[in-house]
Copies of this chain bind each other. A is one copy, B any other.
Amino acid sequence: MNIPKLKNTDKNNFFLMAGSCAIESRDLAFEIAEKIKGITDQFGIPYIFKGSYRKANRTKLDSFTGIGDIRALEILQEVGNHFDLPTVTDIHESIEAEMAAKYVDVLQIPAFLCRQTDLLAAAAKTGKAVNIKKGQFMAGVSMKFAVEKVLHEHPGATVFLTDRGNSFGYGDLVVDYRNIPEMQAHGVPVVMDCTHSLQRPNQGSGVTGGQPQLIETIAKAAIAVGAEGLFIETHPNPSVAKSDGANMLQLDKLEGLLEKLVKIRQAIV
């Protein structure tokens, strides 16, 4: 992986993409980044700060969508500079790629959009690393073609694939761990998204549900089968978060979780 400012890359550990779902404020972003940087340095975990500058596919129209694109991107950049951390954000249309690339180090392709050729190409052209989330309707084997779409525009690009579960009936997702080795066969690091994979979609209310008590189960299994990275959304107080509050990890539980996961990692390498 060729990602600027990434630390602890010599520790043979898994890496972590983590932060709040959306960038809600500069203060919150700094609080989260500082806390996680401290924990990950302690455990020797390479860390990428995550924050969405806009939520483009909320179920309902009146859901929170962001504090303003440029403002949120500036906060991401400030966090990266202040803590000397790489940052990641997600983009939704081709036109956003170049703009977002000025502020962050990794561009993320949302799961619903993982087959949109133009979007993958636009992300690739920026020269940034690209994290593609596997669609809830996709098999791991089929993600090979998404990786190829990026590498075609940017040979040698750093690409990773993130699993966030598959549709299991209407109101549930299931994580199929067979997809980890199957996606690793495409020659890229594989990440487990431990929070979105616990979402409960298609709730009649228009507010997606979650099961945060199972984050540890999802994460332990991922590390044990060899996932190179974890993606975890976290918030000091999920119940007041402006999006995805139902499935984020409470920030003060992160240290205890990572401690357990590092032990499993050491048992398999």
Contacts and interface: CB of A to CB of B under 8 A. Distances in A.
Interface of A: 56-61, 65, 92-95, 112-113, 115-119, 135-139, 141-142, 144-145, 148-149, 152, 166-172, 174-178, 180-181, 201-202, 204, 206, 211, 214, 217-218, 220-226, 260, 263-264, 266-268
10 contacts: A56-B116, A60-B148, A95-B95, A113-B113, A168-B168, A174-B176, A180-B217, A181-B217, A221-B221, A263-B268
A210 to B, nearest CB: 12
Contacts of A225: 217, 220-221, 224
Contacts of A263: 267-268
A56 B117 contact: yes
Contact of A177 (B138, B148, B177, B211): B177
Given A59-B145, A136-B167, A211-B178, A65 B117 contact: yes
A21 B93 CA distance: 23
B171 A171 contact: yes
Given A116-B112, A136-B137, A145-B60, A170 B172 contact: yes
A99 to B, nearest CB: 14
Given A220-B225, A220-B268, A266-B267, A57 B115 contact: yes
A221 B93 CA distance: 36
Contacts of A202: 138-139, 141-142
Contacts of A177: 175, 177, 217-218, 221
A95 B223 CA distance: 41
A148 B61 contact: yes
